């Protein structure tokens, strides 16, 4: 069945291209027809609105399918999980997401590489069924770690270098990080590093990590060596780690909380951070992260939007699935990115960096993951919050009224961390 979306301003994933009609057949975009056309009775009248590719969150952690439903209700059609456990649960979530249209699509790193007795192993006590989080004791463990993730179906690999919230635990040696990167390349997988401190960022960069996620909170990066890097800054998490009242930005905009569960909003208003600590790194401050993003932008680094969205069982967390990506876009713009550049960071650029060639752009032959919003986010990026309709693989979901967006079933706990 063909759908015509008529009269919207179109942001194609890279730039605004003016008013056009976008034709969808099944789960694929079949045509983009420039110019204004009078909508027929069966067409989607999108006049006055903006059509853009479905948003991609380049850094999340999943507890269950309910997170994916919440993402979709905020216009996020693809999420990139950066560590959930155990492996069989992550695999189940991936299979489920691939066969549903009311949840965001999912790619995952699977288990994260970390030091023995370090993060993230200390977060995950042994499972009653006998499973336990593996740790790497040195470079000699790198090939085994990577081969295990390949067997489990990981789409890319995540390396935990140092935790800004607790810098007291053992860390991977620089040699081990380098060995993981080399083994990943041999298996054709990209690597992503958890790097929220200057030491971690520099270690990951020098080891050859493909994507650095988070930004140092403990001081400025050296300007040398920033050109050519790819980063997922997660400014929403950087704010949450340095400001116990960071959720005020979420609560201040009714458009952001309209699709969150009532009990979660009540908890946020009461100051519940879901157990999320503030950083223990010496001198940690959000402005360090913001300054480091400006330095990276000046050096020509590639920036992908991501939030570090997470969900603590039974309580709200400070970085909410779906809603927080809209906050992230505003924070990126606040660091000097143009609205169009910010939107590209959450659409085409995310798709390019994480090897998703079928999405992230509005063009014939691309997957019909689309978002229709009132207003013009290429002028005011916060207009992405004025949600009207999201198409996930060509299936439309009305977002104009929060009551239309019922919660997806949660399918049980997944233990996850930053």
- Residue range 260-274, pLDDT digits in tens: 999 889 989 988 887
For residues 322 and 107, give the distance between their C-alpha atoms in angstroms, rounded to a whole number. Answer: 16
* DSSP label at residue 141: G
Inside any domain, residue 318: yes
Q: Are strands 2-11 and 191-194 parallel, antiparallel or unpaired?
A: unpaired
> For residue 86, what pLDDT is reported?
82
Q: List, in sequence order, every residue forming a beta bridge with 398; answer none if it has no partner.
A: 389
Q: Is the predicted pLDDT of residue 417 greater than 60, yes or no?
A: no
Summary mean pLDDT of the chain? 90
Inside any domain, residue 344: yes
134-to-114, 142, 209, 274, 319 alpha-carbon distances in Å: 8, 11, 20, 26, 27
| Mean pLDDT along residues 291-295 | 97
Domain that holds residue 261: 54-355
Tokens of 385: 């919050």
| Mean pLDDT along residues 111-133 | 70
Inside any domain, residue 395: no
Question: How does pLDDT run across 179-196, given as a tens digit for each residue?
Answer: 999 999 999 999 999 998
Q: Is the pTM of this model over 0.85?
A: yes
Residues in the chain: 418
Query: Is there a cis peptide before residue 272, judged by omega within 30 degrees of 0?
Result: no
Q: State the total domains in the chain.
A: 1
CATH code at position 256 = 3.20.20.140
Question: How does pLDDT run across 393-413, given as a tens digit for each residue?
Answer: 999 999 988 853 444 444 333
CB–CB of 312/274 below 8 Å?
yes
Q: What percent of the chain has pLDDT over 70?
A: 89
Inside any domain, residue 10: no
Inside any domain, residue 418: no
Q: Are strands 230-232 and 302-303 parallel, antiparallel or unpaired?
A: parallel
Inside any domain, residue 392: no
Inside any domain, residue 398: no
> For residue 240, what pLDDT is reported?
92
What separation, in Å, do the N-terminal and C-terminal C-alpha atoms of the chain show? 41
Inside any domain, residue 259: yes
**317 Cβ contact partners less than 8 Å away, ≥ 6 residues apart:** 273, 274, 275, 276, 309, 310, 311
């Amino acid at each position: 069945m063909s759908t015509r979306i008529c009269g919207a301003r179109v942001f194609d994933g890279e730039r605004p291209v003016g008013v056009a009609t976008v034709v969808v057949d099944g789960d694929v975009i079949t045509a983009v027809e420039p110019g204004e056309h009078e909508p027929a009775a069966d067409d989607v009248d999108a006049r006055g609105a903006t059509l853009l590719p479905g948003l991609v969150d380049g850094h999340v952690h999943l507890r269950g399918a309910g997170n994916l439903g919440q993402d979709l209700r905020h216009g996020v059609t693809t999420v990139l999980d950066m560590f959930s456990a155990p492996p069989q649960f992550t695999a189940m979530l991936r299979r489920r997401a691939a066969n549903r249209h009311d949840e965001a699509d999912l790619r995952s790193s699977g288990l994260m590489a970390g030091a023995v007795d370090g993060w993230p192993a200390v977060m995950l006590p042994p499972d009653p069924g006998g499973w336990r989080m593996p740790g790497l004791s040195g470079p000699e463990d790198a090939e085994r770690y990577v081969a295990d993730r390949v067997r489990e179906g990981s789409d890319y690999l995540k390396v935990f270098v140092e935790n800004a919230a607790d810098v007291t635990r053992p860390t991977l040696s620089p040699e081990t990080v380098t060995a993981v990167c080399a083994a990943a390349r041999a298996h054709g997988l990209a690597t992503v590093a958890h790097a929220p401190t200057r030491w971690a960022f520099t270690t990951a960069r020098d080891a050859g990590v493909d994507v650095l996620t988070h930004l140092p909170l403990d001081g400025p990066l050296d300007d040398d060596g920033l050109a050519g890097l790819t980063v997922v800054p997660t400014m929403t998490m950087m704010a949450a780690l340095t400001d116990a009242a960071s959720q005020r930005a979420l609560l201040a905009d009714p458009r952001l909380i309209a699709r969150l569960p009532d009990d979660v909003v009540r908890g946020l208003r009461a100051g519940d951070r879901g157990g999320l600590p503030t950083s223990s790194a010496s001198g940690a401050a959000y402005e360090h992260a913001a300054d480091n993003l400006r330095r990276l932008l000046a050096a020509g680094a590639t920036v992908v939007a991501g939030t570090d969205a997470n969900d603590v069982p039974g309580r709200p967390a400070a970085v909410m699935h779906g809603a927080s990506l809209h906050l992230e876009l505003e924070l990126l713009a606040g660091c000097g990115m143009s609205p169009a550049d910010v939107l590209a960071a959450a659409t085409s650029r995310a798709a390019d960096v994480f090897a998703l060639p079928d999405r992230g752009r509005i063009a014939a032959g691309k997957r019909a993951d689309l978002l229709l919003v009132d207003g013009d986010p290429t002028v005011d990026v916060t207009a992405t919050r004025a949600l009207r309709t999201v198409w996930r693989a060509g299936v439309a979901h009305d977002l104009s009224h929060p009551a239309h967006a019922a919660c997806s079933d949660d399918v049980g706990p997944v233990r996850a961390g930053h």
